Amino acid sequence: MPRFAANLHWLFTERAFLERFAAARDAGFDAVEFPSPYDHSPTAVAAELRDAGLRCILFNLPSGDRAKGDFGIACRPGRETEFREGVHRAIEYAHALGTKRLNVIAGKKLDGEDPAKLREVLLANVEYAAGELHRSGIDFVIEPINDIDIKGFLVSRQDEGARIVDAIGPERLGLQCDLYHTAMMGDDPEATLTRLAPIIRHVQFADVPGRGEPGAGKLDWPRLFTLLDALPYEGWVSAEYKPSRRTEETLDWLR
């Protein structure tokens, strides 16, 4: 059975963020992740992790202001200083929380922009972050996100993410493979996991369509979880779905 973690941005949302840690522990999780801890002090988040006896296995570099349309800033020209400041802020939080892996969200292409220019900015920023995180003893991954849910997202397929890993070097950057985003792009999650296993360092999941819990859609979860056990993958597998009802009532797949 894979090692499962709970994404606290998506699960246990019946509670305030800092109350979700204890709920995850009570539901049977040993580890959690979340996209952003930055609305709370590192001391406050670390206290919740300690009190719940949980590990924080992953969070994202600062990704801009979602209310203003940002969904990652790593590819955005003119925001390189903001990105680099965010790298150091993330390292501060990672050390405080004991988190050994951080994720980068590439960002979106706006109408009329040259994707080649955005990829140039992205590679330069990821190169910088990879160096800083490597020196800080923190692993680094990049996450492709489907461009159906997030219109214009620059890195939408796992193979695109793999090319960035190859450009930076797999010793300093790995791939975060979200099976929901993979399937939403029409790619086969099973074939993708098998082909890219050597560079996959983190896995997330939700069912397709609808981003619900396993069993709410069409993906074969027993088969996928069995495959993850069979592959040379030793990382965590994180539940990042939108529960169809109270979170605790959607955990049959975990039990």
* Residues noted as catalytic: 143, 240
Q: Please tell me the distance from the alpha carbon of residue 55 to that of residue 104, in angstroms, as a whole number.
A: 20
- Amino acid identity, residue 151? K
Q: CB neighbours (10 Å) of residue 130?
A: 20
Residue 109 DSSP symbol: P
Pair 224, 194: CB distance under 8 Å: no
Residue 209 DSSP symbol: T
Contacts of 27 (CB under 8 A, 6+ apart): 6, 12, 247, 248, 251, 254
Phi, psi of 115 (to 5 degrees): -60, -30
Q: How far is CA 138 from CA 6, 130, 146, 156, in A?
A: 20, 9, 26, 24
In 3D, which of 177, 205, 239, 211 has the Cα closest to residue 6? 239
